[in-house]
Amino acid sequence: MAKELKELTPRSENYAQWYNDLVIKAELAENSAVRGCMVIKPYGYAIWEKMQQNLDRMFKETGHVNAYFPLFIPKSFMSREAEHVEGFAKECAVVTHYRLKTDPNGNGVVVDPEAKLEEELIVRPTSETIIWSTYKNWIQSYRDLPLLINQWANVVRWEMRTRLFLRTAEFLWQEGHTAHANREEAEAEAKKMLKVYTEFAEKYMAMPVIKGVKSASERFAGAEETYTIEALMQDGKALQAGTSHFLGQNFAKAFDVQFTDQNGNRDYVWATSWGVSTRLIGALIMSHSDDNGLVLPPALAPIQVVMVPIYKNEEQLRRIDEKADKIMQQLKALGISVKYDNADNKKPGWKFSEYELKGVPVRLAMGARDLENNTIEVARRDTLTKETVPYEGVVEHVKNLLDEIQQNIYQKAFDFRASQIREVNSYDEFKEEIEKGGFLLCHWDGTPETEELVKNETKATIRCIPLEGDKTPGKCMVTGKPSAQRVIFARAY
Amino acid sequence: MAKELKELTPRSENYAQWYNDLVIKAELAENSAVRGCMVIKPYGYAIWEKMQQNLDRMFKETGHVNAYFPLFIPKSFMSREAEHVEGFAKECAVVTHYRLKTDPNGNGVVVDPEAKLEEELIVRPTSETIIWSTYKNWIQSYRDLPLLINQWANVVRWEMRTRLFLRTAEFLWQEGHTAHANREEAEAEAKKMLKVYTEFAEKYMAMPVIKGVKSASERFAGAEETYTIEALMQDGKALQAGTSHFLGQNFAKAFDVQFTDQNGNRDYVWATSWGVSTRLIGALIMSHSDDNGLVLPPALAPIQVVMVPIYKNEEQLRRIDEKADKIMQQLKALGISVKYDNADNKKPGWKFSEYELKGVPVRLAMGARDLENNTIEVARRDTLTKETVPYEGVVEHVKNLLDEIQQNIYQKAFDFRASQIREVNSYDEFKEEIEKGGFLLCHWDGTPETEELVKNETKATIRCIPLEGDKTPGKCMVTGKPSAQRVIFARAY
């Protein structure tokens, strides 16, 4: 039964179903009683904690500090920046009352009509407006700049079609909001944070990404420029993994945030904002996992090494316990997280498939023969291979193996993506190729009309205008008009 | 001018004003544009991060894991547990709509009346209901128990009279929610977490607390027993610093959470919940700080050591920089957070009062004479004393000094509290003594009526029935009826 419980729909059969099965069966998250909101279960949350720790350190290393701003935004604030409100109005949860009372008809509690707010409050879908209304009081002179602040928070966007981690009504994220004395500095900050996200995605998530700029129609509501990192999932669909926005002076103007520069002149402040969310857990899953379960990069795995004893009697267990304990101590001293599973109500086979499902990178097993030969079995989750190695030196072996697995997972994702990036030169070819998935490098005339046409006819969007790589001009695959460089089209999550 | 900006209302003049001045001027927090909600500024948030890190580690060491549950609670869930809803209904923020639209009259945006929720959602004031509705699916058998989960989250309680950190409409906290197979285990858990809170308060916050049980009328809404730690602020008022609740089977019954025990019998699950919040920052401030500013215990100070160079020319600065750098490296290697402030647009005196205001435990200063004599000036924030010590060995000196300061701050708070605990034997005496503040140890007949009378007549409440100390029975100071032991009365925050 345990085995069946863990069985996943194969990816080849139904990728979306495989994803959902995996999230549920690996106990990462589940849907809650509140439509569109998920419960992040302990194992899923442990991955998020690892992501947070690393990102938070990287933010601090680049000079940022954390703060916390209110969950609620007065409705009138939302309207201050015209494009911003247009982008978010349709998905806002609105607080209208501040009290419940006993139902006079005896049906539990009802909203107290006398406790109506004078002005409705929006549950933040993002915090630019409440933060810039605050920055107004914090910034008077160039000496107050730059302001480099990040916030870890929950946000709510009322989505109609939700999927665990990928699109939920409430999600967890971080949002950086910085203020600068001039355009150049703000633009540099937006690019710097894109670089931080790139490093995080590639080094920790083992997920290669393409850095680029969004087309105007895909820009953040209120931004002058949106930078993005785009990843490719195993099913050939793109996933936007993080964005960094150069906001120009839009929010400073909306909230009248001016400063006095070194020459005594007054000007509006320049801004950026940037964020990544629990969506990254979805990206992590869809980048590496397989039909047996999760494959987690060691850098983000809550448990990096699991050890399972295989024994027929108490004496064997006692001897294995002793040897295991030594390894555990040494691994822990190296900062490697390790779990020893000697629970006696589950068989080794059950445990093996459990940790496979959970994506633990390295599994150690020790049995009677290992005791005899002074060996230990080492299994890798990424390749599903195993080998027997001498007990002495196994700690060093495991340490190196974790690095190798991290590398290998990245390389595999990189090679897959490389096989899925294709130049396409005609719209007919495009319509054929887009069905196969992947990143299609195409010339585009730069107009929202062409972008819209392609989207309506093929469901593909421009993921980004790449910042790096070939910049040769050409002709738009649809209209034949001039194109400055190839852009990336794909169907996306 | 800088000096004036930092000046605080003296505590003796107006304690409440001193507190508010300090929170604002030390840049810990401020009121936001949203009534009752605060902005936690970077320096205040850095203290919260230190608290979080230590508590989170202590929770994990006692076997707990983190998870995340939805921000919203369906209104009907709130009514399931009768006392719970009665306790929280009056302060619930209610989401009724999920969309805004452009105002047809051209005034920004309005709530879209067509986007009304079928069932209103409550912004969580605490998460027992949403969590126990989830636990129902997680718990089938004794093998699923205990469930030891904690959540770091924001909660909203619509308070009418708010004060920064102490009472705000939105606050940050952690809430533990555990499930157990029997009463004994759940009771032990509730007590264990009270012990963890006590250790945190005393060891990290340097704040002595009294462990006790709440009287029935002060219990958490839905609990069978509420354990509390009570601290005494400098103005003689009490502050409830953390609570841990034994919830019996109340929530399990409300959400029908049953399990099969080892003998195949079905029973309802036993529960606890426990939490501390950003309120602790208010407690920290009011325990130790003085008329010059914050006094932070080294264990929670965002900056433990600050170093200020005093120089008349570039050559001196260069030589001080060099010596400072060596100290910095060594302090950092010991895990001590240190800041070197060689900003040239502020004078040393301005910096000294700035770091005094911010409560940095140790200040190092080095000037021309120190260069000559190979010495360094070491100043303590807690005693406002300073000494000149040899440059060699200063790192070891600072390390020991930080420990000494942590001890001293605790001892000072302990001695103050000791001076404020008094046995009171008659109600007349009580009415006089309560005006002087402090913890009054009194006999009480155990009835809510007497408790209510004392509260109405003196504004004093029963802070707790102490778990430790003298348990001699006596006679109620008000009614003369039998009393099992003395309880603590005080006016409270």
Q: Do B42 and A66 touch (CB under 8 A)?
A: yes
- Whether the bond between A146 and the residue before it is cis, its omega within 30 degrees of 0, is yes
At A5 the pLDDT is 61
CA B233 to chain centre: 13
Question: How far is B84 from B130, CA to CA, in rounded Å?
Answer: 13
Chain B's closest residue to A78, CA to CA, is B109
Closest to B251 (Cα-Cα) out of B225, B224, B236, B271: B271
Listed as own residue / partner, the contacts of B135-138 with beta carbons closer than 8 Å and 24 or more positions apart are B135/B177, B135/B179, B135/B255, B135/B257, B135/B269, B136/B255, B136/B256, B136/B257, B137/A30
Query: Quick one: how far is CA B491 from the chain centroid?
Result: 18
Q: For residues A389 and A180, give the distance between their C-alpha atoms in angstroms, rounded to a whole number.
A: 56
Q: What single string gives the DSSP state of each residue in B135-194?
A: HHHH-SBGGG--EEEEEEEEEE---SS-BTTTB-SEEEEEEEEEEESSHHHHHHHHHHHH
In A, which residues are within 8 Å of B48 by CB distance?
Answer: 68
CA distance B431 to A344: 63
- CA B204 – CA B283 distance, rounded (Å): 13
Answer yes or no: do A200 and A348 share one domain: no
Is B277 inside a domain boundary?
yes
Write the Ramachandran bin of B36: left for phi over 0, alpha for psi from -120 to 50, otherwise beta: left
**Cα B315 to Cα B162: distance, rounded to the nearest angstrom:** 52
Residues B273 and B375 in one domain: no
User: Cα(B39)–Cα(A69) distance, rounded to whole angstroms?
Assistant: 5
Q: Helices A279-288 and A394-420 sit at what angle, rounded to 10 degrees?
A: 90
Assess whether A397 and A464 both reside in one domain. no
Residues A246 and A122 in one domain: yes
Mean per-residue pLDDT pooled into runs of 10, chain A (493 residues): 68 97 98 96 98 98 98 94 90 97 87 96 97 98 97 96 96 98 98 98 98 96 97 98 98 98 97 98 98 98 98 95 96 97 93 97 96 97 97 97 98 98 98 98 98 98 96 97 98 97
Cα separation, A216 vs A183, whole angstroms: 19
Task: Provide the domain limits for residue B17.
Answer: 2-71+126-288
Please check whether residues B323 and B448 belong to one and the same domain.
Answer: no
Q: What sections of B289-364 are H helices per DSSP?
A: 314-333, 348-357
Contact call for A93 and B97, based on CB within 8 A: yes
CATH number at residue B313: 3.40.50.800
* Maximum Cα interatomic distance, chain A, rounded to a whole number of Å: 83
3-state helix, strand, coil in chain A (%, to 5): 40, 30, 35
* Chain A partners within 8 Å of B77 (Cβ): 33
Report yes or no: A91 at the B interface, CB cutoff 8 Å: yes
Predicted local distance difference test score (pLDDT) of residue A108: 85
Q: Is B327 part of any domain?
A: yes
What is the Cα–Cα distance from B38 to B172, expressed in whole angstroms?
11
CB contact under 8 A, B98 and A158: yes
A140 lies in some domain: yes
Pairing of strands A225-232, B109-111: unpaired
Looking at the fold, whether B275 and B253 belong to one and the same domain comes out as yes
Burial class of B16 by CB neighbour count within 10 A (0 to 12, 13 to 18, 19+):
exposed
Residues of chain B found within 8 Å of residue A130, distances taken between Cβ atoms: 32-34
Q: Which residues of B touch A68 (CB under 8 A)?
A: 39-40, 45, 48, 172
Residues A78, A120, single domain; the answer is yes
- Residues B165 and B243 reside in one and the same domain: yes
Query: Which residues 335-354 of B are in CB contact (within 8 Å) with A?
Result: 345
Note whether B109 contacts A75, CB cutoff 8 Å: yes
Asked if residue B175 and residue B255 are part of one domain, the reply reads: yes
Consecutive 10-residue averages of pLDDT for chain B (493 residues): 68 97 98 96 98 98 98 94 90 97 87 96 97 98 97 96 96 98 98 98 98 96 97 98 98 98 97 98 98 98 98 95 96 97 93 97 96 97 97 97 98 98 98 98 98 98 96 97 98 97
CB contact under 8 A, A68 and B158: no
Q: Among B415, B442, B460, which residue terminates a domain?
A: B415
Separation between Cα atoms, residue B165 and residue B311, nearest integer Å: 40
The pLDDT value given to residue B104? 85
Instruction: Tell me if A197 sits within 8 A of A244, measured CB to CB.
Output: yes
> In chain B, which residues have their Cβ closer than 8 Å to the Cβ of A137?
30
Could you tell me the CATH number of the domain that includes residue B174? 3.30.930.10
Q: Which of residues 398-457 of B touch A (CB under 8 A)?
A: none
Residue B25 in domain: yes
Q: Do B109 and A143 touch (CB under 8 A)?
A: no
Distance from the B67 Cα atom to the nearest Cα atom in chain A, whole angstroms: 5
Mark yes or no for CB contact A75/B130 under 8 Å. no
Shared domain check, B459 and B363: no
State the total domains in chain A.
3
Read off the DSSP letter of residue B300. G
Helices A42-61 and A183-199 cross at an angle (nearest 10°) of: 140
Q: Which of A288, A315, A343 is the last residue of a domain?
A: A288
ipTM of the complex: 0.97
In a domain, B80, yes or no: no
Judge whether A110 and A243 are in contact, CB under 8 Å: no
Q: Does B52 touch chain A (CB under 8 A)?
A: no
- What is the distance between the alpha carbons of residues A381 and A362, in angstroms, rounded to a whole number? 6
Whether A484 and A363 map to the same domain: the answer is: no
Residue A297 lies in a domain: no
Q: Taking CB atoms and an 8 Å limit, are A45 and B39 in contact across chains?
A: no
For A46, nearest residue in chain B (alpha carbons): B66
- Across A67-165, the runs of DSSP E, i.e. the strands, are 72-74, 94-97, 100-102, 109-111, 116-123, 147-156
Sign of CA dihedral A281, A284, A286, A291: negative
A167 and A233 housed in the same domain: yes
Which residues numbered 164-183 in B keep a CB inside 8 Å of some CB on A? 170, 172
Supply the pLDDT for residue B4: 56
CATH of the domain at A427: 3.30.110.30
Domain boundary among A253, A288, A323: A288
A39, A72, A137: residue with CB nearest B134: A39
pLDDT attached to residue A105: 85
Question: What does each C-alpha distance from A334 to A395, A400, B61, B129, B383 come to in angstroms?
Answer: 9, 12, 19, 42, 41
Residue A294 is assigned to a structural domain of this protein: no
Residue of B248, B37, B403 whose CA lies nearest to A98: B37
Q: Which amino acid makes up residue A109?
A: V
Place of tokens 């030390």: B26
Say if the Cβ atoms of B130 and A33 lie within 8 Å. Answer: yes
CB contact under 8 A, B46 and A65: yes
Structure tokens at A422: 């294709």
Q: Is residue A410 part of a domain?
A: no
* Dihedral sign for Cα atoms in the order B127, B133, B137, B139: positive
The pLDDT, as a whole number, for residue B2 is 44
Residues 6+ apart with CB under 8 A from B151: B66, B67, B68, B69, B127, B131, B174, B175, B176, B177
Q: Do B109 and A85 touch (CB under 8 A)?
A: yes
